Amino acid sequence: MDTLINEINPAQRPLKPLAGAAFIGMALCYITLFIIYGALLSTPADATTAEKIAYLIENKGLFNVTYVLGYVLFACLLCFCVYVIGGLYQKVSQPAMALATLFGYFWVVVLLCTGMIGITSHELLASYSTSNPAAAEVIYYARALLTESLGGGIEFIGGVWLLLFGAVSWRHGLFSKPLSAFTLVKGAIGVATIFSTEPVLRDLFGITGIVWFLWIGIAMIRKPS
């Protein structure tokens, strides 16, 4: 059973396959980032701060592409999906879906902020790297702190959205049980990143994200009613 048809907001039905396409677009953003960071960008682990700054400046254009794709574009697609899902299933469980939608929009804002901070910091690093190296180091560490806490390392807000949506989906049969269960697992991984800074959780959230975005995207396109 894909959805409870009598509980769906009829005005939102035409947007369901569009949201499915947006979810698939988000998966493609993730895949592109994995390719870029895996094949094109690799900052040496033992590099000094000055060397890391120089590497960022040298590859500024490519780093900016990753922030546009992984945060700005991704956030815009996510915003549309949160809006559609919230509208479609608002009558199924109003308190839970209202809260889930709120966390979804919080996630959108955090991702947009992360992307714009990343892009702006690269420009500032290029400006200060030669004229004021000390200021460049401050900008570098501030960039790392903000981007990691907002959207690069902690995925708590997105995890809460997924947990709430997964719980409603499981309880009311919005999607199949395997997809609902996978949503809950992915949400739990996201929430767990606030308790541990281990890269494995962050990477696992990203890898499972590719599967989840593709899965739910296809489900929404195949069952638009």
- Give the C-alpha separation, 122 to 146, whole Å: 13
* Exposed/middle/buried for residue 218 (C-beta within 10 Å: 0-12, 13-18, 19+): middle
Confidence of residue 93 (pLDDT cuts 50, 70, 90): confident
Sorting pLDDT into bands at 50, 70 and 90, what band is 5?
A: very low
Distances 14 to 18, 22, 63, 132, 160 between C-alpha atoms, Å: 8, 14, 36, 54, 27
Write out the residue range of the structural domain in which residue 129 sits.
5-222
Segment 105-162, tens digit of pLDDT: 999 999 999 999 999 998 899 888 888 889 999 999 999 888 888 877 789 999 999 9
Average pLDDT taken over every residue of the chain: 88
Sign of the CA dihedral running 200, 31, 125, 55: positive
pLDDT of residue 97: 92
Q: What is the pLDDT of residues 146-190, one digit of tens each?
A: 888 887 778 999 999 999 999 999 999 889 999 999 999 999 999
**Alpha-carbon dihedral sign for residues 115, 118, 120, 126:** negative
What domain count does the chain have?
Answer: 1
Residue with tokens 């991704």: 74
SS3 call for 173: coil
pLDDT at position 187 is 95
pTM: 0.89
In this predicted structure, what is the pLDDT of residue 85?
93
Share above pLDDT 70 across residues of the chain, in percent, rounded to a whole number? 94
pLDDT of residue 6: 41
